[in-house]
Structure 1
Amino acid sequence: MFDPEKVLVGITPTGWTNDDYPSLGDDISFGQCVTEMALAGFAGCSVGHKFPKDPDVLERELSQRGLRVSEPWSSTFFTVNDMHERTVESFRDSMAFIKRMGGTSVVVAELGHAVHQQPVPPIANKPVFDKAQWAALTAGLNHLGRIAAEADMRLCYHHHIGTGVMTRPEVDRLMTETDPDTVHLLLDTGHLYWAGDDPLDMARTYASRIRHVHLKDIRKDVMVRCNATNRTFIESVIEGVFTVPGDGCIQFKPIFQALADAGYEGWLMVEAEQDPAKANPLDYARMARKYIRETAGV
């Protein structure tokens, strides 16, 4: 299905440790995390708060395990007053880091007014941007996209639960109001499904703009229960709303096929925030790698 020379399979540290909620997996070391990633058969990873900050040390530790860095995360705050310059500066730092590590993509998400880190139900309380905020966001993303393109890099926008770009109509608006040549899309299957939309349809619609993929599955019964009982984002994660591909309700093979048909090149990243005390990270990493190999051919 995919060309293994052009499509790489990686995993994020969120099954082992969690940047947003450091108490999850607090007892798991950086060494255990990256060693188990390698044991499970992945080619790369994103970075987490326990990873070495020195790029030389990080590169050495990862290369010893046959891993490389897939992407950095760079939060944007274009919908917050007086945050434009700080957002641009942070993006430039992230771009310099991933370029140093041999990568090409920077993952961004607008976290202005986001609630997924707050003690509230994330869907009911998500921000709804007004016209001025949308204008600030899309203009800011176009600016970052040009900065990235001029450095032969790519900006990939991550729609996310609890943020102002969460639902399919919001993604559609973002895609319509940004430059298709410089603002690319990160498809996150789990976030879109939880938002009530169809990841397969979005994959087909935006296949030409998708340049990065986060693969997370959904335990539908947990999602329904958490929504009905007004759980927060972190409470939902702890209860197991997310899992690895092949362990939930999302059908990934047609999504892979839609991307392959469009000539997708880049990373397929397993990203399943779970409580490692309940879901053994190595077991789930191996489960995910086996499923992707069988369904995507890489």
Structure 2
Amino acid sequence: MSLNVRIGVNPLSWMNDDLPSLGGETPLSVALAEGQQIGYAGFELGNKFPREPQALKTLLAQYDLALVSGWYSGRLAARGVEEEIEAVGPHLDLLAQNGATVVVYGEVADSIQGAPRPLYQRPRFFSDARWNEYAERLDRFAAYTLSRGVRVAYHHHMGAYVETPADVDRLMALTSDAVGLLFDAGHITFAGGDALTELKKHIGRVCHVHCKDVRPEIVKLARNRNWSFLDAVINGAFTVPGDGTVDYPGIIACLAAHDYAGWLVVEAEQDPVIAPSYAYAERGYRTLRSLVDGICKEAA
């Protein structure tokens, strides 16, 4: 049993990509300085980061931070593999030249994650043919990124084609090991799954982990009142590890039991006016640090 991990953070605690008004006034330098002070080893990309490889490298070096990875808005549900490979080029260069070994692939074709529409209106693949076509495209795309030294970390996401545990199960069954799974404990819980159960099912494919927690009472309201994904975010559906009901002790123990090596990324879309950035980012870090250190002591 081993746990070779680094703890990183997504800048969503300070500023929101889907809702730029949340934390829009916060300079990137504040997020980087506070994240480094808390103890994080790296950051995922956000909308305020430079997109030129050397500029990004220089910026992160100022704070002694690594590049964890970065979200890529993929459209393989709507376009061909060659077009997708051409589109991903600059982003892949940015990641590869800054030492990131995974790319966060989020399918945004037909997604309603940023739209003012209730979550039940999300897109779905309604036939075996559509599922098979999508999986085949994703496999080919993932093989290409892997040839560049960067593995696809597929992000199941609220409001998208692959949202529920059943969706994740099917995608993993139809694709090869070239397609890694980004396990997001918050999204899988919001989608109706038990995070630890789903992690155990697909642990062999997990290459990246997003650590957010869930406030179930808000998720229930979101479902009952037909909120959009962004309405749920604004109202506090997500929070940092240790502030919700997700079984993080169980998740960290499961990762350790399967010798997970990679990043644990604290990520919690919240309004920083209501959930102060530093306090919540620190709480998420302390929760994970304590659990990881406890595992390491047991193994010693």
Q: What whole-Å deviation, never above 9, does each CA across 1:148-185 have from its counterpart, x for those lacking one?
A: 222232111110001110011110110010012x1111
Q: For the residues of structure 2 that align with 1:92 and 1:105, how far apart are their CA atoms?
A: 14
Q: What whole-Å deviation, never above 9, does each CA across 1:189-238 have from its counterpart, x for those lacking one?
A: 00000000011011111111100000000011111122212221111111
Select 1:177's aligned residue among 174, 186, 190.
Answer: 174
Q: For the residues of structure 1 that align with 2:153 and 2:92, how far apart are their CA atoms?
A: 12
What TM-score results when the alignment is normalised by the length of structure 2?
0.93
Q: For the residues of structure 2 that align with 1:27 and 1:150, how far apart are their CA atoms?
A: 39
Q: For the residues of structure 2 that align with 1:55 and 1:35, how far apart are their CA atoms?
A: 20
Select 1:191's aligned residue among 178, 187, 190.
Answer: 187
2:75–2:107 contact (8 Å) kept in structure 1: yes
2:207 maps to amino acid: R
1:253–1:296 contact (8 Å) kept in structure 2: no
Q: 1:73 maps to what in 2?
A: 71
Select 1:165's aligned residue among 146, 150, 162.
Answer: 162
1:78–1:133 contact (8 Å) kept in structure 2: no
Gaps of 5+ in 1: none
Select 1:147's aligned residue among 131, 144, 157.
Answer: 144
Q: 1:284 maps to what in 2?
A: 280
2:24 maps to amino acid: D
1:20–1:117 contact (8 Å) kept in structure 2: yes
CA RMSD of aligned residues (A): 1.5
Gaps of 5+ in 2: none
Select 2:41's aligned residue among 40, 43, 46.
Answer: 43
Q: What whole-Å deviation, never above 9, does each CA across 1:229-275 have from its counterpart, x for those lacking one?
A: 22211111111110000000111111111111111000000110111
Q: 2:58 maps to what in 1?
A: 60
1:215 maps to amino acid: C
Q: 1:250 maps to what in 2?
A: 246
1:1-298 maps to which residues of 2 (within 5 A)? 2-3=2-3, 6-80=4-78, 82=79, 84-122=81-119, 124-131=120-127, 132-180=129-177, 182-297=178-293
Aligned pair count reads 293
Q: 1:91 deviation in Å?
A: 2.5
1:53 maps to amino acid: R
1:186–1:211 contact (8 Å) kept in structure 2: yes
1:41 maps to amino acid: G
